[in-house]
Structure 1
Amino acid sequence: MDGGYYAIKGFEYQIDKNILEILKETDVNKAINIEQNQDIDTADFVMQVKYKEATKFTPSTVKKPVIQLIDEYKKDNSKKYILYCFFKDFNGYTESTSIDLILGSSKTNYTQQEKTDFEKSFELKFSPQFDIQLEQTIREIQNLNYNEDESIIFHSRASNFLRNLVVNNAPNQISNRTCTKNDLIELFKNDRKVIFKNSFRFFKGEESYFKKMKKDFFTSNNVDKTIKIFIIELDGSKSNSEIVLLLKKISEKYFKQLTRDIKGEAPFFFFRNINSQKNIEVKEQLVKAKIIFKDGYDFLNSKFNLASITSKSTKENRIAIKLINSETELNQVINFNFNTMKEIYQFFKIKPLTINQDIRETNIEIKNSNEILKII
């Protein structure tokens, strides 16, 4: 378990370093290669990034990446070669630690001339800890004339963008893992997928995090016909009554049942990590509470009916909630032409679902599903 935690944190650390290197470039069109031959490389340098939060530094701990850099240098000696690394304790060693000491028993695999030449182009750089580098990355985004709140949001967007460059391009498409400063600038300008991650909570504090989410997304008094789709990742601890309360609170914001008419449109809900039995029990509680909902199934053993679940709320039917039962049905709803605007709100613990449509998204990271009511 701990190994997985440190591996993920190490990758996030590497992503932040990528963002820093991209944004520090004076040439906005200069390509930065991500996870190609090495962790980061350009026309000028090759860099290995290592984040070892639980490990003390000794020369042998960086032997493998240094050997990789020497072998790259032998192919192209025109670049600078950098090992950028963080360790729990640098153990008295300095950035001037010799190549022979690092290579240990492998030092005889290279001639003295090869090692001497490589050392002229090599830099061992001890890096700051995770939180300090995160702050540096946020400040670099602020240098593009964004305020701190905007920069924290765009940091999450840039992280997700670079992560997807790696994940969505298999080894046979590795040349596509490339980004320029201009790519990130355009990403920030045309952002339609807002992601609030724990970096915002880290900078602003928990109370400010909740307040900002509420102020920016859930305090408007305007009720319109925009289709709102909520994707909520449950953590297994939420009771049926708590889920029903959550459904009611969100529904009441966007669907108003007046004496003679209605305002707004019933929001859609898709719960991640809910089992079929709990799903049934939640629906039973909605029926007992006399809350009218649609789930696309109109009679026993019927097939999913997209027309049924997408039917409009009216003063006659008073449909207040629409429940989506599976990811397949979710995609059908998202792809449906409502002839009006659509918005998606995701509350996620680890990673939001990927929505491939060009649709406005607001993705909010939570520690547990109990936090949603604090935001709503």
Structure 2
Amino acid sequence: MTNRSAVDTIRGYFYQFDMSILSVLNLNSPDDSIEIECIEDVDIRTATDLTATQCKYYAKTEYNHSVIKDAIKHMTSHFKESLMGTKPTVSYVIKGHYASGQEKLDGGIDVDFLKKHFLTYSEKQGTGKITRYHHSELGLSDDDLREFLKRLSVDVRAKEYDEQYREILGTIQSIFKCTPFSVEYFYYNNSLAVIRELSIKAEPTDRKITKKEFLARINTSTILFNEWFVEKKGKKAHFASLRKEFFTEVNVSPFERFFLVEVDAGSYTRSELKELIFDLSRKWAKLSAREPSPFCPYIYVHGVAKSELIELKGELCTEGFRLIDGHDFLGADFNVSSIIQNATHGNGIKIKVVNSLSNVELALNSISKTRRIYQFHLGRSYFDYENPAVQHVKIQIEHLADIKSII
């Protein structure tokens, strides 16, 4: 597959995912639902109706009847089973976006058109070909086909990729009354993750979600590292947007910032964590003698062994990098007053290392100044701190090194 065709294929996946997201957002009742990859790409179920929708995205190619032929054959097969009572009664929808050729369907679809262009096809047999008639093999009469056409809607002028995406963002914003950043990085990102998760479930019953359930699942406070969302945005642009939203300040304010970072024991290296600590101190500490309110950041490292943390702190101290951890002497208990002491030019404290989450919470509760928590997690978040006075940003990452690209 060439790079261009690979991009087109990925955009096709996104187009289908986005249509699924838009479908569930536009449901009228909280108890109405969508089903992913069941009868068709997206099935919409309300209290009274079931609609099976298939979508096509061919932004660079011309519309031809052959593009939707297999979809219509599949739908007529399902329609036949519904007449027999073995499948539910369904309305059928085909939506497609094409570069040109849409006028080929401007005259509509009648029974003769349906049979000629969608239900008649050739098939190899030996050295030759035979003509097959799908409607005849199904035993569908013209009256049956007229009934099928009443249930069929074909839209070959469906929204363009970016237009559909903008509609999703606008719909989310109207529902949650949030900022443009939150629309994309929280709600849309989470929406994409939910739809992707549903689409790979083995059982059809597990690929169903109501509007109420969907809205609850996307309303989270964690920025997921969703590979599909990052693919859509681009990793560099993804990190740049996070940096702009949370870590760009013209004049760094003297807040008490807690950086909670998670390491993967299987790929952890001390040098990488040290470089991150140096970066945090350089960017988020001000210890100049002229600084009226000097400060430095806190760091908690999740997933590192206690013995390794001791070795790391010892190495930093040996190198003359001044830190405190709330333990004032060998064997001393954690002293919250010690760790929340002011960092100054005189004492040269460049970072405060918090050894446990319980100590993080004690420190947060003991500080009266403005506090901010930045939690970077590899899997699920590992620390909950609900206080309306404290900004708590949760960002999922793939690797520890990603943090340096964000902060």
Pairwise TM-score range, normalised by the shorter structure: 0.5 to 0.7
Q: Any idea what SS the aligned residue of 1:355 has?
A: coil
Q: Supply the AA of the counterpart residue of 2:25.
A: L
Q: Deviations over 1:198-254 (max 9, x none)?
A: 79979xxx7x9957743434546355473422789xxxxxxxxx9997764334345
Tell me if 1:226 matches 2:251.
no
In structure 2, which of residues 189, 199, 214 is the aligned counterpart of residue 156 of structure 1? 189
Q: Any idea what SS the aligned residue of 1:226 has?
A: strand
User: Is contact 2:43-2:51 (8 Å) kept?
Assistant: yes
> How many percent of aligned residue pairs carry the same amino acid?
16
In structure 2, which of residues 355, 360, 370 is the aligned counterpart of residue 340 of structure 1? 360
- Tell me, in whole angstroms, the C-alpha distance in 1 between the residues paired with 2:402 and 2:259: 24
Give runs of aligned pairs for residues 81-100 of structure 1, distance below 5 A. Answer: 81-90=92-101, 92-94=103-105, 96-97=108-109, 98-100=113-115
Tell me if 1:193 matches 2:217.
no
User: Is contact 2:63-2:102 (8 Å) kept?
Assistant: yes
Q: Supply the AA of the counterpart residue of 1:175.
A: T
In structure 2, which of residues 69, 79, 83 is the aligned counterpart of residue 63 of structure 1? 69
- Tell me, in whole angstroms, the C-alpha distance in 2 between the residues paired with 1:244 and 1:128: 49
User: Is contact 1:251-1:267 (8 Å) kept?
Assistant: no
- Higher Cα Rg, which structure: 2
Q: Any idea what SS the aligned residue of 1:136 has?
A: helix
User: Is contact 2:257-2:374 (8 Å) kept?
Assistant: no
Q: Deviations over 1:107-158 (max 9, x none)?
A: 7121343432211111111211110110111121122152451333312221
Equivalent residue number for residue 108 of structure 1: 133
- Tell me, in whole angstroms, the C-alpha distance in 1 between the residues paired with 2:295 and 2:173: 44
Q: CA 1:263–1:31 in structure 2 vs 1: closer, same or farther (change >3 Å)?
A: same
- CA drift at 1:354: 4.4
Tell me if 1:266 matches 2:274.
no
Q: Deviations over 1:334-369 (max 9, x none)?
A: xx75543675347xxxxxx6437576632589xxx9
Give runs of aligned pairs for residues 267-306 of structure 1, distance below 5 A. Answer: 268=301, 290=319
Q: Supply the AA of the counterpart residue of 1:140.
A: T
User: Is contact 2:120-2:134 (8 Å) kept?
Assistant: no
In structure 2, which of residues 51, 60, 72 is the aligned counterpart of residue 54 of structure 1? 60
Equivalent residue number for residue 162 of structure 2: 131
Q: How many residues align?
A: 305
Tell me if 1:80 matches 2:80.
no
Q: Supply the AA of the counterpart residue of 1:94.
A: L
In structure 1, which of residues 137, 143, 150 is the aligned counterpart of residue 174 of structure 2? 143
- Tell me, in whole angstroms, the C-alpha distance in 1 between the residues paired with 2:152 and 2:212: 29
- CA drift at 1:18: 1.1
Q: Any idea what SS the aligned residue of 2:105 has?
A: coil
- Tell me, in whole angstroms, the C-alpha distance in 1 between the residues paired with 2:359 and 2:82: 57
Q: Any idea what SS the aligned residue of 1:53 has?
A: strand
Equivalent residue number for residue 362 of structure 1: 395
- CA drift at 1:290: 4.7
- Tell me, in whole angstroms, the C-alpha distance in 1 between the residues paired with 2:295 and 2:383: 29
Tell me if 1:166 matches 2:199.
yes
User: Is contact 2:261-2:301 (8 Å) kept?
Assistant: yes
Give runs of aligned pairs for residues 212-251 of structure 1, distance below 5 A. Answer: 213-217=243-247, 219=249, 221=253, 224=256, 226-229=258-261, 248-251=278-281
Q: Supply the AA of the counterpart residue of 1:136.
A: E
Q: Supply the AA of the counterpart residue of 1:139.
A: G
Give runs of aligned pairs for residues 173-188 of structure 1, distance below 5 A. Answer: 173-188=203-218
User: Is contact 2:92-2:151 (8 Å) kept?
Assistant: yes
Indicate the RMSD between aligned Cα atoms, in angstroms. 4.7
- CA drift at 1:25: 1.2
- CA drift at 1:19: 1.4
User: Is contact 1:254-1:267 (8 Å) kept?
Assistant: no
Q: Any idea what SS the aligned residue of 2:169 has?
A: helix
- CA drift at 1:183: 2.0
User: Is contact 1:50-1:86 (8 Å) kept?
Assistant: yes
Equivalent residue number for residue 14 of structure 1: 16
- Tell me, in whole angstroms, the C-alpha distance in 1 between the residues paired with 2:319 and 2:171: 53
User: Is contact 2:261-2:302 (8 Å) kept?
Assistant: yes
Q: Supply the AA of the counterpart residue of 2:40.
A: Q
Equivalent residue number for residue 33 of structure 2: 31
User: Is contact 1:49-1:85 (8 Å) kept?
Assistant: yes
- CA drift at 1:51: 1.6
Q: Any idea what SS the aligned residue of 1:88 has?
A: strand
4+ residue runs of structure 1 moved beyond 6 angstroms? 198-202, 242-247, 255-259, 312-319, 369-372
User: Is contact 1:192-1:361 (8 Å) kept?
Assistant: yes
Give runs of aligned pairs for residues 323-334 of structure 1, distance below 5 A. Answer: none
Q: Supply the AA of the counterpart residue of 1:52.
A: Y
- Tell me, in whole angstroms, the C-alpha distance in 2 between the residues paired with 1:370 and 1:354: 14
- CA drift at 1:17: 0.8
Q: CA 1:138–1:193 in structure 2 vs 1: closer, same or farther (change >3 Å)?
A: same
- CA drift at 1:59: 0.6
- CA drift at 1:68: 1.8
Give the TM-score normalised by the residue count of structure 2.
Answer: 0.59
